[in-house]
Structure 1
Amino acid sequence: MGALDHLSNIFDCSGGSHHKYKNRKQLQTVEIKVKIDCEGCERKVRRSVEGMKGVTSIHIEPKQHKLTVTGYVEPHRVVSRVAHRTGKRVELWPYVPYDLVGHPYAQGVYDKKAPAGYVRYDQDPGSRHLERATSTEVRYTTAFSDENTGACAIM
């Protein structure tokens, strides 16, 4: 903070409260899954978000049923506003690219409704049905495999 900033804060005559820093919202990209059947639905979804404070851009992909909102907004507020204004079932975008998931075809994670190249994102570690083996487990299981030439020496 420079000397001029310090002096301007001391001699501030605005009469407001003396908050040095305001809590500013971060620029975010919020992806939402909402069913869009026709141009009317698309227009309704777009209008529900257009007037929202802090929104800088809106992008709609009707074939994927995806709404992308960029701006200084909070995700839960965008979801609740779209749900309230449109009357549709709305949720945060539940899919991630296929390359980012360790086991994309794990039971309970794979979704046939997912767009091409995406799989459902599963955040809950308790619901995993297929876990990766640790390095210690891999070492013990490969020690006694048929492919290990030194396995006979151990037995």
Structure 2
Amino acid sequence: MKLSTLLSVKSSMGALDYLSNFCTVNKRSKRKPMQTVEIKVKMDCDGCERRIRHAVCSMKGARTVDINRKQSRVTVTGYVDPNKVLKRVKHTGKKAEFWPYVPYNLVSYPYVAQAYDKKAPAGYVRNVVQALPSPNAEEKLNWIFSDENPNACSIM
């Protein structure tokens, strides 16, 4: 083939490729929302911490990784799937679970059965349904001390 024939075929192929980009349907993957994933992992030494940090930092979408060995807590922030983060941490050979604790001051009944945990870090209790207040508990208190309630407290 002549050089001029090759150039014309190549230029027409480039034009066809350019036009085909407009005709094809590209599947766009939905971007995961920015979120924070907290995981409880027992870490004994710097090697354990380094292994977990390396496993999680190499994930696509992970922005920051914060490890608190004293609390056995790993916090990952970024565009990641929580289940994939948990799976990646478990793949290091460590026992891992999602962070099961909430701050002590956010719970109405911290000493209810199964909420108090001796292994919990200071200031935290286990997140159980019985420890949380009922959704309309505040409305009941407002009604008890309301001016419209004829049986309201007379001390007010």
TM-score normalised to the size of structure 2?
0.68
| Distance change in 2, residues 1:18/1:44 (3 Å) | closer
* 2: CA distance, partners of 1:70 / 1:129: 27
- Counterpart of 1:82 in 2: which secondary structure? helix
**Structure 1 segments unaligned to the other structure (5+ residues):** 1-10, 140-147, 150-155
| Distance change in 2, residues 1:59/1:15 (3 Å) | farther
Q: Do 2:56 and 2:88's aligned partners in 1 also have CA atoms closer than 8 Å?
A: yes
**Structure 2 segments unaligned to the other structure (5+ residues):** 1-18, 145-152
Which structure: larger Rg?
2
Question: Pick from 65, 69, 78: which aligns with 1:71?
Answer: 78
- Counterpart of 1:114 in 2: which secondary structure? coil
Runs of 4+ aligned structure 1 residues displaced above 2 Å come to: 11-16, 128-136
Q: Do 1:35 and 1:65's aligned partners in 2 also have CA atoms closer than 8 Å?
A: yes
| Distance change in 2, residues 1:15/1:95 (3 Å) | same
Percent identity over the alignment is 50
Supply the RMSD in Å over aligned alpha carbons.
Answer: 2.8
Question: Pick from 111, 120, 128: which aligns with 2:126?
Answer: 120
TM-score normalised to the size of structure 1?
0.68
Equivalent residues in 2 for 1:37-116 (5 A)? 37-84=44-91, 86-116=92-122
Matched length = 124
The CA deviation string for residues 52-90 of structure 1, in whole angstroms up to 9 with x for no partner, is 110011100000000000110011110011101x11110
